[in-house]
Structure 1
């Protein structure tokens, strides 16, 4: 079977990563999956023309009912849709978008929500048949990278590495953009860190929104947190976040820019993770 798969493929976003993972899974099952950026198309008619001129397509799939699913409304082959967080958290609040999303849901052969809560909210806000919405949690396979050393990563972020085994590290992976605002955690974690300095927060992700990145850096500086290349002094030993311009972290074989990574008096990668530095031949 050959499928057309539409998704928002902005670089370094969860949508892109999720779409690539689903595409890989579909192709590993023996099918052909052509992944296209929804931004390439201006209207449902363009997608319909694409499929009519390529009769080998037998179905279609889209992530996000409004951003991508609406482009499938005119096609003549069956399709399915996958809910994105933006569908329920933002787009349903706009009446024009909500109406379009309902049309997509009614025409789709099936819809997938990654969580029970997302399904419940979809049924609450959209006129839908619950039997069409299936809950399929995301499954992510992780592998230890032999080329990654946690201690060296911390050194590159100007972190001390004393008492590594005693720390509790909380890792937040998200890009610096307003819709994924990581700052909502900073104040609460700052207080928690003062109560117990062994609790540290590491934030890893690309600087997607330059304007918002400046705002984050300003908050880091105003709260006395570690900024780029700074060392803690006096009462400002709150090391939840450090912004590192131009740095890269190789993790599980994938390269992603990082803007965070600091722990009070050292840090560990978390429960159950090997703390040894391993090397592979050059």
Structure 2
């Protein structure tokens, strides 16, 4: 690949609204666009009915290309149909290394995804360790890049007093501290693991502390 020619980046991902995979894809897109000065990547949903045609377009395009897959297992079929000369960057999903590696059939297709990728990104040290346990002979570039949340402190604090006053009036108590737990209630993303330290500090049952638990609409 001639890296003097600006490549076209195509990202394959699950596209469920507000899913971790889609959020990661959008973040990667902004990095390619704003920090690497590349053209805005094309994000392709794995749910699109015309995905075989889109893969054919990627294969036949004369432009230099880089393909990014978000989730080893979900994108395995895409990679099986992708031209072998196209460089692939793989981003491991949380379920890849926390759940799917323990399914024999899933592990087989994930191994094919790993072998096809020139570089792999994981988010945490535990994911890095597990990746090395399952694929100790991987020859590509393996990097841990922690996930991050971009917080605009000015916007966060701008209306804080108004919100706290509103909550105080609704609850009838003065709020001195509160914390937020955000998560999806399924085994690998159960946010309740964080409750014990707070219970140990007698924070949860302090009448002056408000606890929010934010989940997705499909919570059971």
Bucket of the pairwise TM-score, normalised by the shorter protein: 0.7 to 0.9
CA RMSD in angstroms comes to: 3.1
Q: Is residue 158 of structure 2 the alignment partner of residue 136 of structure 1? A: no
Residues 174 and 52 of structure 1, relative CA distance in 2, 3 Å threshold: same
Counterpart in 2 of 1:37?
45
Residues 195 and 53 of structure 1, relative CA distance in 2, 3 Å threshold: closer
> Which protein has the bigger helix share?
2
Give the gaps of 5 or more residues in structure 2. Answer: 1-6
Counterpart in 1 of 2:171?
159
Q: 2:199–2:205: 8 Å Cα contact kept in structure 1?
A: no
Provide the secondary structure at the position in 1 that maps to 2:171. Answer: coil
**Which structure is higher in RCO with an 8 Å CA cutoff and minimum separation 6?**
1
Counterpart in 2 of 1:181?
190
Q: Is residue 60 of structure 2 the alignment partner of residue 60 of structure 1? A: no
Residues 100 and 128 of structure 1, relative CA distance in 2, 3 Å threshold: farther
Over residues 14-41 of structure 1, what are the superposed CA-to-partner deviations in whole Å (9 max), with x where a residue is unaligned?
A: 2222221111111112212001212226
Q: 1:70–1:101: 8 Å Cα contact kept in structure 2?
A: no
Provide the secondary structure at the position in 1 that maps to 2:81. Answer: coil
CA distance in 2, matches of 1:153, 1:2: 49
CA distance in 1, matches of 2:15, 2:149: 19
Provide the secondary structure at the position in 2 that maps to 1:170. Answer: strand
Provide the secondary structure at the position in 2 that maps to 1:71. Answer: helix
CA distance in 2, matches of 1:39, 1:128: 32
Residue 72 (structure 1) shift:
2.0
For normalisation by structure 1, the TM-score amounts to 0.62
Q: Which stretch of the first structure deviates more once superposed, 26-35 or 128-137?
A: 128-137
Counterpart in 2 of 1:94?
103
CA distance in 1, matches of 2:21, 2:30: 14
CA distance in 2, matches of 1:87, 1:121: 10
